[in-house]
Chains A and B, each alone.
Chain A
């Protein structure tokens, strides 16, 4: 067992715990925004794609990397925009037209 694995497992376990504590407290009212927010956040895989797309690992890696960058960027940009758009709609008082 490498140190890398043990260290990673600690991080994973603690994150799952923190996530559980937060997510159980999210009201059903906001379950759709929660889902689109976590989806936007998991667009963090963009940071891995960036290194592959811009790295010196050969043509195939560059191509795969660029597609991955595009796909992850769609989630990041679209995900944050739509979550914000949804949350903007949740109001206590109706807006007078």
Chain B
């Protein structure tokens, strides 16, 4: 009876998760979808609590309380600008939970009962492998995003060979464990998994974090799916597959948006080997004061804003929205051009601008806005660099050659809001800055926009 009850609960929650996720295909239905998924989660948890193996509830309640006390602030109070860090951290928690479940299951079967089936052993091996890699890998990503670790790729000689050798050892050990489930080998897999997570992420630069975050999302899902196989629990397999598939798909979309292969992102150590491109010619830029820029904007009829990571760093999204409203009052059309990899995670710019109350029908994807760029009077580049670099279209020697970009250079006038002429993240020079129709407006993006808004109000 209990068994049927649990399975009925899991069946209902699987259905609710799938229907809930489908809600995310439309912004209007998204909130209802996530609430349905939340109900599904509640049903699954309540259903599990009647499990016949559970003999005491005090530890469960303790864990649930700790998790809730930490989870509520992480859900309600973390500012939107910290979303990439928060997502990376939650992947780490997810990986840790699954890895610990795997270790506990191994101890129960192989050590306490003295017997473990080959199938369970294999599944547990993959579970702890993916779980541990996700845990340390996500912590490294978090460190890089938070600035605790250097955002630059950290590499040493023979690093890729070492990583690959460790990966191969891990997989060989898992296969060996299926036939000889010895504790020493099992814990070696756990240890190697933790190390591999570090080694895999440390050589990847901060600008590639969107791909890393997606991959960690995927690994966390695969770990959960493996635990579903080990525990013969279908809801874990279903949710793990949804999570793993979603993360993988997003990683593919992100890589495509950078015109790079997975292999290149994972092992390329992008942004370090590229010396700043310099052809020896001293190029000059034309600077604009805020007053000049404001005067120009007032006379425009169509303005496109291209936001980048710099907007997030300077937290300029609210000032951008204020500018949009001021311009719209003057009858000027304002749109936002969103590059898929702008920022540090998929959809980063959309979330920030939505937080600043920008209606989402103003946020236009790259492919949709590019054809109309030549008719745009002023293109305002705020904290974006590589995603508007025309070298990606023309310069075969450029590290970002082939990456699809927003055609800011094709608009009639480009304003670039930038701190200084220091090279961008990847250290690649940006020919956009030197174009005839480009004007640099130097300073912190938020301060610049505040003075710009003051000018526009005059």
Contact = CB atoms under 8 A, between A and B. Distances in A.
Check if A and B associate.
yes
A80 B75 contact: yes
A52 B234 CA distance: 17
B30 A81 contact: no
Interface in A1-26: 2, 4-5, 8, 11-12, 15-16, 18-20, 22-26
A24 B245 CA distance: 10
Interface stretch (B19-27, B286-294, B379-387): B19-27
Which label, helix, strand, loop or mixed, suits the secondary structure of the B interface? Answer: helix
Contact of B51 (A26, A50, A82, A84): A50
Nearest to B103: A64
Tell which of A26, A42, A53, A65 has the most Cβ of chain B within 10 Å: A42
Contact of A45 (B20, B34, B98): B98
B66 interface: yes
Interface residues of B, number: 114
B67 A30 contact: no
A38 B355 CA distance: 21
Contact of B354 (A19, A41, A89): A89
Interface in B65-101: 66-68, 70-76, 78, 80, 83, 86-87, 90-91, 93-94, 96-98, 100-101
Given A32-B345, A39-B243, A91-B359, 14 more contacts: A11-B237, A31-B253, A32-B87, A35-B347, A41-B21, A47-B233, A52-B101, A57-B112, A64-B100, A73-B66, A80-B75, A82-B74, A84-B34, A90-B27
Interface of B: 10, 13, 17-18, 20-22, 24-25, 27, 30-31, 33-35, 37-38, 41, 44-45, 47-49, 51, 53-57, 59-60, 62-64, 66-68, 70-76, 78, 80, 83, 86-87, 90-91, 93-94, 96-98, 100-101, 103-105, 107-108, 112, 117, 119, 213-214, 217, 220-221, 224-225, 227-229, 231-247, 249-250, 253, 325, 338, 340, 345-348, 350-351, 354-355, 357-361, 363, 365
Interface of A: 2, 4-5, 8, 11-12, 15-16, 18-20, 22-58, 60-62, 64-95
